[in-house]
């Protein structure tokens, strides 16, 4: 799994602040400098153009809230091209992208759970833009405690029915962040968002036309509060339809 690792310092974990590559982390483990500990994990899928400013921001927010941050690099694959064209907001230029992202999500969760140095608890899965679509569509395929979706509408045109809706497990907390005038979702046939959300989904609509919505301070504050709430919750974040998981 290609990507970066960022951690802590997390409260009461006895771990130093770390920022290193996966291979460097394994070397630290082999030398006995770090052991396997139970820590909160934020596993993130980047957008259609690869690792970007969004991942830098989320890594910093994860560090601030005591989460370990993983961001697998989809473009580490050979013959991997972007599925989007920024010039005209065209989507679908690399049709295999959806299957790639599903495979990457499943593989990343498997690798994190099998890590010799980290036992994830809790595990939050997040995604931005194309990565947000993958989390929205395939999030239910992995055992996560909560989800963050940014820069994706959780809605799609009729001919994109396979990508329409939010398919994370019921009663698992979801934070959905989107810019009000995001040009990717103001095109004909696209909807900015679903008209109704279940009580376990918190939606933040930012007054902006910036697709890179995590640049916005309100979005960053929402992510920080969400991660703090998940980390402080006891056990997996679940709720009945009558219970708001954000009020735990």
CA distance 83 to 90: 8
Q: What pLDDT does 65 receive?
A: 93
Q: How does pLDDT run across 21-34, given as a tens digit for each residue?
A: 666 666 776 777 66
Q: 228 in helix, strand or coil? A: helix
pLDDT range class, residue 156, cuts 50, 70, 90 = confident
Q: How does pLDDT run across 17-71, given as a tens digit for each residue?
A: 445 566 666 677 677 766 667 889 999 999 877 789 999 999 999 999 999 999 9
Q: What pLDDT does 26 receive?
A: 67
| Sequence ranges of the domains in the chain | 4-247
Strand locations in the chain (E): 4-7, 18-21, 37-45, 68-70, 84-85, 90-91, 118-128, 146-150, 173-179, 201-206
Question: Which one, of 93, 91, 92, 115, lies nearest residue 43 by Cα?
Answer: 115
pLDDT range class, residue 172, cuts 50, 70, 90 = very high
- DSSP at 9: P
Cis upstream peptide for 9 (omega within 30°)? yes
Between vectors from CA 230 to CA 228 and to CA 233, what angle results, nearest 5°? 105
Reading across the β-sheet that carries 201-206, which strands appear in turn?
18-21, 4-7, 68-70, 37-45, 118-128, 146-150, 173-179, 201-206
Kindly state the helix (H) or strand (E) to which residue 30 belongs, with its residue range.
helix 22-30
Q: Which CATH architecture has domain 4-247?
A: 3-Layer(aba) Sandwich (3.40)
Q: How does pLDDT run across 108-147, given as a tens digit for each residue?
A: 999 988 887 777 889 999 999 888 888 998 888 898 999 9
Alpha carbon dihedral 72, 77, 83, 86, in 10-degree steps, equals 70
pLDDT range class, residue 214, cuts 50, 70, 90 = very high
Q: What pLDDT does 187 receive?
A: 76
């Amino acid at each position: 799994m290609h990507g970066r690792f960022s951690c802590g310092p997390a409260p009461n974990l006895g771990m130093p602040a770390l920022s290193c590559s996966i291979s460097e982390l394994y070397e630290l483990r082999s030398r006995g400098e770090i052991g396997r500990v139970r820590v909160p994990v934020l596993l993130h899928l980047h957008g259609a153009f690869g690792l970007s400013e969004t991942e830098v921001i989320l890594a910093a927010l994860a560090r601030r809230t005591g989460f370990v941050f993983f961001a697998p690099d989809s473009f580490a694959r050979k013959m991997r091209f972007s599925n989007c064209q920024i010039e005209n907001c065209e989507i679908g230029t690399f049709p295999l992208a959806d299957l790639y992202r599903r495979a990457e999500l499943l593989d990343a969760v498997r690798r994190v759970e099998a890590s010799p140095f980290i036992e994830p608890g809790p595990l939050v899965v997040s995604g931005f833009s194309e990565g947000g679509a993958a989390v929205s569509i395939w999030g239910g395929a992995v055992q996560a405690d909560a989800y963050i979706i940014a820069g994706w509408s959780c809605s799609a045109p009729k001919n994109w029915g396979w990508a329409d809706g939010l398919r994370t497990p019921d009663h698992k907390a979801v934070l959905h962040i989107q810019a009000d005038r995001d040009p990717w979702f103001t095109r004909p046939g696209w909807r900015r968002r679903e008209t109704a959300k279940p009580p376990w989904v918190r939606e933040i609509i930012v007054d902006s036309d910036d697709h890179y919505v995590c640049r916005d301070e309100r979005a960053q504050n929402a992510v920080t509060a969400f991660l703090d709430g998940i980390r402080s919750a006891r056990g997996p974040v679940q709720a009945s339809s009558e219970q708001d998981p954000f009020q735990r």
